[in-house]
Amino acid sequence: MTLPFYPDLAAPVPASYTVWMNIPQGSELFSAIVAAPFGAVGIRTEQDLVRELVYLPPHYQEKAPLDAVAEQAATQVARYLEDADFRFDLPRLEAGSAFQRRVWDAIDAIPRGSVRTYGQVAKLLESHPRAVGQACGANWFPLVIPCHRVTAAGGLGGFASHDDEHGFHLGVKRWLLRHEGALATDMPWQQQAIFP
């Protein structure tokens, strides 16, 4: 006898449940996921605006865009991954404090293939390197606001609030710098730290 509140264990699993089980936990948070050479980029949208871009490890599979803004963002992310000179033009949710937005504007002005140190950006803004690093880590729109172009004075520094030298996020930072043409020979003071 099967009790009404216990499922029949011999019954086939519904297809929708099987598909859901094959999606990495967290995929439902994203309006689209774009495959990238380093893993993937998750796109979150809200009210016809891009809310956030997130670097995702390789086990995340592509996810078709759920809305027009996600489709626009996915197309632009894919174009950047093909051509480092591509410039983003996305409708974004207003995010960050006034100071963070000043840091992000300064970062956005760093040319492709170039890097600045946290100290250099801090001096430009009459601030402190640690505050600049924290604003970089709080960036809601990586790739669009290229915080990967900001490094420590003696090495790669952190990235996306992570600083494990051999971790996923610093691997993404290295890939992005190479993709944009930042050469170790142009930065001999960082040669070991950026390109091991």
Domain ranges for the chain, please list them: 15-82, 98-194
Tokens standing for residue 15: 């297809």
Q: Which amino acid, residue 93? A: L
3-class DSSP assignment, residue 39: strand
Residue 4, exposed/middle/buried by CB under 10 A (0-12, 13-18, 19+)?
A: exposed
Distance of CA 49 to the CA centre of its chain: 17
The single-letter code of the amino acid at 19 is: V
For residue 34, give the nearest of 72, 68, 8, 61 by alpha carbon: 61
DSSP assigned state of 186: G
What is the Cα–Cα distance from 24 to 117, expressed in whole angstroms? 36
Spatial separation of the C-alpha atoms in residues 101 and 23, rounded to whole Å: 34
Beta bridge partners of 170: none
Provide the pLDDT for residue 160: 76
Question: Residue 13 pairs with which residues in a beta bridge?
Answer: none
Q: Tens digit of pLDDT per residue, the chain (196 long)?
A: 443 433 443 444 444 333 444 445 567 899 999 999 999 999 999 999 999 999 999 999 999 999 999 999 999 999 999 999 999 999 999 999 999 999 999 999 999 999 999 999 999 999 999 999 999 999 999 999 999 999 988 888 878 776 666 788 899 999 999 999 986 655 534 444 455 5
Q: Which residues are the active-site residues?
A: 147
Query: Which pLDDT value is given to residue 3?
Result: 38
In single-letter form, the type of residue at position 109 comes to A
Please provide residue 152's backbone torsions phi and psi, each rounded to the nearest 5 degrees: -75, 165
Candidates 3.40.640.10, 3.40.50.1820, 3.10.520.10, 1.10.10.10; correct CATH number of 98-194?
A: 1.10.10.10
pLDDT of residue 187: 54
Residue 143, pLDDT score: 94
pLDDT of residue 14: 42
pLDDT at 112 (0 to 100): 93
CB 32 within 8 A of CB 61: no
